[in-house]
A and B are shown apart, each in its own frame.
Chain A
Amino acid sequence: DVKVTQSSRYLVKRTGEKVFLECVQDMDHENMFWYRQDPGLGLRLIYFSYDVKMKEKGDIPEGYSVSREKKERFSLILESASTNQTSMYLCASSPPGPPYEQYFGPGTRLTVT
């Protein structure tokens, strides 16, 4: 079974703090993704990566950065957390070819106060 793990289930941070969210997958997948999920908006893509050291902006990259130093690990960084970044953050991975289905981690519910 594919396993995607995320470093924290719940996180509370203060405005202005730098926040690191880590994601690890154990299926040797090339592709990894970071989403945020907010009520009524669905999942929105923040960043993705198709290979080590490679990253691409998604739909809402502002205020975020990512790091992929190893194939199995994809980190999301909030450079200076703000209250509008309070959300559920979901990491996913997928193999490179069709049918392209993604496997999700359990999510990190981040609250910025």
Chain B
Amino acid sequence: RKEVEQDPGPFNVPEGATVAFNCTYSNSASQSFFWYRQDCRKEPKLLMSVYSSGNEDGRFTAQLNRASQYISLLIRDSKLSDSATYLCVVNIGDMRFGAGTRLTVKP
């Protein structure tokens, strides 16, 4: 079983849609959690950290469920510029990356 698993997608959604990604992790000792965004042929960039209490940054909401060992990312009112691959990342002493979920937002 992979340490961090994500649905690879692709998710194709119209502008304005709400889309949710889930990610599961296998190591219950995981310490911290992140969502990164990676545009085509670019490096990953931190989108947001994920806290136990859940956190929101504008149209983006991240949730952590330690009991079930999953993390989610919700994007509301999708924009064309949200098209990218979203990487789920778990820190278990070093960072473990999911393979990413590809999102395409269409006009």
Query: What chain A residues lie within 8 Å of B97 (beta carbons)?
Result: 35, 42-43
Query: What chain B residues lie within 8 Å of A105 (beta carbons)?
Result: 43
Cα of A45 to Cα of B90 in the assembled complex, Å: 13
Query: What chain B residues lie within 8 Å of A106 (beta carbons)?
Result: 42-43
Taking A43-B44, A43-B97, A99-B49 as known contacts, 4 extra A-B pairs with beta carbons closer than 8 A to each other, sorted by chain A number, are: A42-B97, A98-B31, A100-B32, A101-B34
Q: Does B57 contact A (CB under 8 A)?
A: no
Interface residues contributed by chain B, number (CB under 8 Å): 19
Q: Is the interface of A mostly helix, strand, loop or mixed?
A: loop
Q: Does B95 contact A (CB under 8 A)?
A: yes
Cα of A104 to Cα of B94 in the assembled complex, Å: 15
- Given A43-B44, A107-B43, residue A58 in contact with residue B94 (CB < 8 A): yes
Query: Which residue of chain B lies nearest to A40 when distances are taken between CB atoms in the complex?
Result: B99
The contact sample of 8 A-B pairs, CB cut-off 8 A, is A41-B99, A43-B44, A90-B44, A100-B31, A100-B91, A102-B95, A105-B43, A106-B43
Asked whether A90 lies within 8 Å of B43 as measured between CB atoms, the reply is yes
